[in-house]
Amino acid sequence: MTTLFQQLINGLSLGSIYALLALGYTMVYGIIKLINFAHGDIYMLGAFWGYYTINYWHFNFIFALLSAMVVCAASGVIIEYFAYRPLRHAPRITALITAIGVSYFLENGMSYLYGADTRDFPQVIKQVNYSLWGVRVSNIQILILATACLLMILLQLIIKKTKMGRAMRAVSVDPDAAELVGININQTISFTFALGSSMAGAAGVLIGLYYNSIDPLMGMTPGIKAFVAAVVGGIGSVPGASLGGFLIGLLETAVQSVGLSAYKDAAVYLVLIIILLVLPSGIFGKNVKEKV
């Protein structure tokens, strides 16, 4: 029982990181139908920003987190403007390859500028472990979970309650109709990238704090897993991405805890395939059938 709760805590912490990342994938996919492969690398940028600002400018945690979100939002917008916007009407597979190109560029650019080696993330918050009925919970885990949940609620509010959020939903349903009723498509897409990238930036700082190590290629695997999470949840659906993230996180820790850590990724992909076979558009996705 104790181990179960222990794994639950570990799984939720990891899952909240995936969920934050998955939100960016799902929002971008929802609005321009692009698998933004560079999203995982935005998360890496966030982690590096946190590393530098804490180490050299002596930022505290909150400030590092918020500034990483702003910087990542800006990078997301810039990437969209230069790399994706020119391809808005090109075949989707072309935009996908461009996204892969951007991902390579960020990974290798960082390796070139700052070296490919792994660095220790500064422990800006001292780790304290609490023991609750035998379950070990660290203050960092609580912080990650709380921050992630707070951000997700905030995001949901922005999407549901603000004018920009309404514009986002409109563009994702029908961009042409949205334009006709006076929505600025470019602005809306930029805003979507800004929101998604800021979530990734936050996730980067949080993971640095949690795992204590960062490197330029750190975004690759979590990026793909988060995309899997978004697909499992139903790509385009914000609650789906959160749910998918937590599911993948829990699944990974569960497989690891039964001693099959070598197969943890395989289990994730297997669950992905099974879910897609039962629900071809994910858990919360809408299955649109072609009209004859």
List helix spans (H) across 57-184. Answer: 61-79, 92-114, 139-161, 163-173, 175-180
266 binds other proteins (CB under 8 A): yes
Rounded distance between C-alpha atoms, residue 72 and residue 103, angstroms:
14
139 binds other proteins (CB under 8 A): no
How many Å is the Cα radius of gyration of the chain? 19
CB of 258 to other proteins, least distance (A): 15
Closest CA to 239 of 126, 120, 149, 143: 149
Residues binding other proteins: what is the number (CB under 8 A)? 47
CB of 94 to other proteins, least distance (A): 4
Footprint on residues 10-49 left by other proteins (CB under 8 A): 29, 33, 35
Q: Of 12 and 268, which CB lies nearer to other proteins in the complex structure?
A: 268
Structure tokens at 195: 């929101």
Cβ within 8 Å of residue 31, ≥6 positions away: 168, 171, 172, 188, 189, 192
CB of 291 to other proteins, least distance (A): 9
Rounded distance between C-alpha atoms, residue 39 and residue 24, angstroms:
7
Rounded distance between C-alpha atoms, residue 227 and residue 95, angstroms:
16
Site mask for other proteins (CB under 8 A), range 87-116, x = bound:
x--xx-xxxxxx-xxxxxx-xxx-xx---x
* Chosen residue from 49, 59, 227, 284 binding other proteins by CB under 8 A: 227
Residues that bind other proteins (CB under 8 A): 29, 33, 35, 83, 86-87, 90-91, 93-98, 100-105, 107-109, 111-112, 116, 220, 224, 227-228, 231, 235, 262-263, 265-266, 268-270, 272-273, 276-277, 280-281, 290, 292
